[in-house]
């Protein structure tokens, strides 16, 4: 399978614990995005990488959230001291260089987080 | 700030009963309008990109159109496998999509 891969698919944790999600993009895609989706809502932009550089972070990303993309390959999204409000589906997407024009985003199947 | 509003929230159709979904948007400098399909528990799947008013694109039973203020997704003679949530998104810069809340379509056989 050559699509975007996310792990784990489901994570249940207790409030206050740290969690980490991993995303493996499509190999030739140099752009990587994280979005968050809650029930009944559309995905909300969290952050964006071009190669290994994190170029944009949403105001939704509090100091408890950190994302990395070492060597411009896979990416991790860590949430520290989780809160119940962090419960959501975390979606990763990748795309080809757009040359200044919008590109098609390929989404993974998401990592669902439940904070008890 | 970009705003995307989709209507209706939910749509129940009989197989073969054509209908349209609406996506109205407010964005400064639209660079692209996207339609995605999302099945339960899965990530969104790309359907169309529209770049300018008057543009239309088709894929099987789906047709997307764009005006300066809204986009429509027409579903012609739907089948049960067309049941999904359809998401509309706008792109105003080089990287960020702003999504609407989606329209959940259920097609009964």
Structure tokens of B54? 């008057």
Q: Which residues of chain B neighbour A49 with C-beta distances below 8 Å?
A: none
Structure tokens of B73? 């997704």
Residue B29 parent element (H or E): none
pLDDT, mean of residues B60-74: 96
Tell me what percent of the residues of chain B surpass a pLDDT of 90: 83
pLDDT, tens digit (0-9, with 9 covering 90-100), for B88-104: 999 877 788 999 999 99
Per-range mean pLDDT, top range of A50-64, A88-102, B5-19: B5-19
Record: contact A45-B97, CB cut-off 8 A: yes
Contact criterion met (CB below 8 Å) for B51 and A100: no
Give residue A109's pLDDT.
96
Residue B55 in contact with partner chain A when CB distance is under 8 A: no
Cβ pairs bridging A and B (under 8 Å): 62
Contact criterion met (CB below 8 Å) for B47 and B60: no
Cα–Cα distance, A35 to A104 (Å, whole number)? 15
Q: Phi and psi (nearest 5°) for A70?
A: -65, 135
Q: Has residue A37 got a pLDDT over 60?
A: yes
| A36, A37, A48, A102: best to mutate for the B interface, most B CBs within 10 A | A102
Please tell me the number of Cα atoms within 13 Å of A31 on its side-chain side: 22
Q: Which residues of chain B neighbour A112 with C-beta distances below 8 Å?
A: 41
Q: Which residues of chain B neighbour A110 with C-beta distances below 8 Å?
A: 41-43
pLDDT, mean of residues B12-28: 96
Give residue A98's pLDDT.
64
Give the sheet arrangement for strand A75-79, strand by strand: A5-7, A19-24, A75-79, A65-68
Question: Smallest CA–CA separation between B62 and chain A, in Å?
Answer: 18
**In sequence order, which residues have a C-beta less than 8 Å from that of residue B26 and are 6 or more positions away?**
B2, B3
Question: pLDDT band for position B105 (50/70/90)?
Answer: very high
Question: pLDDT band for position A66 (50/70/90)?
Answer: very high
Give residue B95's pLDDT.
81
**Number of other residues whose CB lies within 10 A of the CB of residue B14:** 9
Q: Has residue B49 got a pLDDT over 60?
A: yes
| B38, B42, B43, B99: best to mutate for the A interface, most A CBs within 10 A | B43
Cα–Cα distance, B42 to B29 (Å, whole number)? 30
pLDDT, mean of residues A53-67: 91
The per-residue pLDDT of chain B, averaged, comes to: 94
**In sequence order, which residues have a C-beta less than 8 Å from that of residue A17 and are 6 or more positions away?**
A81, A82
**In sequence order, which residues have a C-beta less than 8 Å from that of residue A28 and are 6 or more positions away?**
A96
Give residue B1's pLDDT.
79
pLDDT, tens digit (0-9, with 9 covering 90-100), for A75-109: 999 999 999 999 999 999 999 866 555 568 999 99
Question: pLDDT band for position A112 (50/70/90)?
Answer: very high
The two beta strands, A111-115 and A10-13, are parallel
Give residue A101's pLDDT.
57
């Amino acid at each position: 399978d050559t699509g975007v891969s996310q792990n784990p698919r489901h994570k249940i944790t207790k409030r206050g614990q740290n969690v980490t999600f991993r995303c493996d993009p499509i190999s030739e895609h140099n752009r990587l995005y994280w979005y968050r989706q809650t029930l009944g809502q559309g995905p909300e932009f969290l952050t964006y990488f071009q190669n290994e550089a994190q170029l944009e972070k949403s105001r939704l990303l509090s100091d408890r959230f950190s994302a990395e993309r070492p060597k411009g390959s896979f990416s991790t999204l860590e949430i520290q001291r989780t809160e119940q409000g962090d419960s959501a589906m975390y979606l990763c997407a990748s795309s080809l260089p757009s040359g200044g024009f919008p590109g098609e985003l390929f989404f993974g199947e998401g990592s669902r987080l439940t904070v008890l | 700030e970009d705003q995307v509003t989709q209507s209706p929230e939910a749509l129940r159709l009989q197989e073969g009963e054509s209908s349209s979904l609406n996506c109205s948007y407010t964005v400064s400098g639209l660079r692209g309008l996207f339609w995605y399909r999302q099945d339960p528990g899965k990530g969104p799947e790309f359907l169309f990109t529209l770049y300018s008013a008057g543009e239309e694109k088709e894929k099987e039973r789906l047709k997307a159109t764009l005006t300066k203020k809204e986009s429509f997704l027409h579903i012609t003679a739907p089948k049960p496998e067309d049941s999904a949530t359809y998401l509309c998104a706008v792109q105003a810069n080089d990287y960020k999509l702003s999504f609407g809340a989606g329209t959940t379509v259920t097609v009964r056989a």
